[in-house]
Structure 1
Amino acid sequence: MQMMFRCKIKPDQVEHNLKLLRAAFEEFQAVRPEGLRYATYQLDDGVTFVAFVEMAGDPGALRQLEAFQRYRSTLEERCEEPPVMTVLHEVGSYGFR
């Protein structure tokens, strides 16, 4: 499954959001969940974040990661606009795999 998440963070919450994201990525590196590909980008406006996620393994693997759960559990409180999830259906790609 491939998904895209987009969220606009409150300006006063951007640094906290970055801290939580960095902790989640450190946890991904330490645990190395099988089948997970996850990338987050901060857009030029400084407050919008877009994440691309691919789960080839157990979709419940993210629920077992403490730092990711800390990030996710308070995300809506940090958002200026509600997060939006979109399921992606790949048409083609070059150099991504």
Structure 2
Amino acid sequence: MKRMVQYKVKADRVAENEGYVRAVYEALHQAKPAGLRYATFRLADGVSFVHLVSYESEGGSSALTSLPAFEAFTAGIRERCEAPPVNVEMKEIGSYGFFGE
């Protein structure tokens, strides 16, 4: 399963949001969950974020969502946002090296 989540944070909460995101990546680097591919981008407007996630197995989502750092990130996301997260499931048509081969 592949998903994209996009949202826009309040301008004064960008650094806070990035701190939460970095904490998630620190936790992922320690846990090294198999079958999970995850990337986060801040867009050119400086306040919009996009998260791309790919799970190679059905249980893969819990490897991310059960991390305490991810729970902390999501706990206050709506208060940090100017535009709330939109979660979209994606069907891959093709890629080259993006999600690993």
Please report the TM-score for the alignment, with normalisation by the length of structure 2: 0.91
Give me the whole-angstrom Cα distance separating, in 1, the residues matched to 2:56 and 2:79.
29
Q: How many residue pairs were aligned?
A: 97
Correspondence for 2:4: 4
Identity of aligned residues (%): 43
Letter in 1 for 2:24: A
Correspondence for 2:82: 80
Structure 2 unaligned spans of 5+: none
- Structure 1 residues 49-88: aligned runs within 5 Å: 49-57=49-57, 58=59, 59-88=61-90
Q: In the TM superposition, what whole-angstrom CA distance separates every residue of 1:51-82 from its partner, at most 9, and x where no partner exists?
A: 10001131222232000110011111100011
Please report the TM-score for the alignment, with normalisation by the length of structure 1: 0.94
Q: In the TM superposition, what whole-angstrom CA distance separates every residue of 1:5-42 from its partner, at most 9, and x where no partner exists?
A: 00000001100001110000000000011111000000
Structure 1 unaligned spans of 5+: none
How well do the aligned residues superpose, as a CA RMSD in angstroms? Answer: 1.0
Moved over 4 A (4+): none
Partner SS state of residue 92, structure 1: coil
Give me the whole-angstrom Cα distance separating, in 1, the residues matched to 2:51 and 2:90.
12
Question: Residues 62 and 69 of structure 1 are in contact (CA less than 8 Å); yes or no, is this contact kept in structure 2?
Answer: no
